[in-house]
Amino acid sequence: MPDFANKTVLVTGSTRGIGRAIALLLAEQGALVGIHGRTEAAARAVCTEIETLGGCAIPLAADFADPEEATRVTERFLARAGRLDALVNNAGGGKARAFRGLSLAGWRQSFALNVEAALLASQAAYGSMRSQRDGAIVNIASLAAHGPGQWMGADYAAAKAALASLTRSLAFEAARFGIRVNAVSPGMIETDMTATLTPTMREALAIPLGRLGRPDEVAAAVSFLLSNDAAYVAGHILHVNGGLGMGG
């Protein structure tokens, strides 16, 4: 198991689903974790859960519908934790919608939440990490970033594709300062976003491994990329999708 003792990690969008699983695992591995959610109550609930298990966490509330809140959350965590060793840009979301139903305002909202917030959080973390000559950033992209976005709207797919591209661009620039930047692209994971799938719809997905993934399986991939076990991994997009889409 990776050891994050004496490490500080901010996980955005960490009050439920994949983000919560990432935060719980990193706390179990010894990290001081920043828990971000839209409300103080949601963030504190996960912090209490972590503290009950013997870990340490800092609650941070902000709505990334205004992406500039991502800068403020990162700066607040850095001020309270004293340093920032790693950042996980997990906050995001979208809805399945037909192309004909897209509006320019909705498109911009999707990019604000899924790309701009990650950009600004990374910029806020980058200065501190450069000073340390050390750090790691993991962006949570999506299977939708690498294909036609057939399960989500074109806005979500395009935003996640932009996040994957941002990952590679920042990785190239940051590597010289000892900062590693990577991404994880989850496939169909058991979260509230997939809770409405019927058994027939799940079967129709034809996932080679025969099931949806679990949030803790995505968390394990993130933990690896943040850890010293991945010390020579930069600019990589790690797919955690049960083999879905491997043919294209």
The residues spanned by each domain of the chain are 8-238
Q: What is the pLDDT of residue 191?
A: 86
The residues pairing with 184 across neighbouring beta strands, listed in sequence order, are 140, 238
Helical ranges in 82-116 per DSSP H: 104-111
**pTM score:** 0.95
DSSP 213: B
Q: Choosing from 120, 156, 226, 234, which is the catalytic residue?
A: 156
Active-site residue, 126 included: no
Q: What is the pLDDT of residue 63?
A: 96
214-218: long-range contacts at Cβ-Cβ below 8 A with a sequence spacing of 24 or more?
214/21, 214/189, 214/190, 215/17, 215/18, 215/20, 215/21, 215/22, 215/189, 215/190, 215/191, 216/21, 216/25, 217/189, 218/18, 218/21, 218/22, 218/140, 218/184, 218/186, 218/189
Q: What is the pLDDT of residue 126?
A: 97
- Interatomic CA distance for residues 145 and 23, integer angstroms: 24
DSSP 113: I
Q: Which CATH superfamily is domain 8-238 in?
A: NAD(P)-binding Rossmann-like Domain (3.40.50.720)
Residues of the chain with pLDDT under 70: 247-248
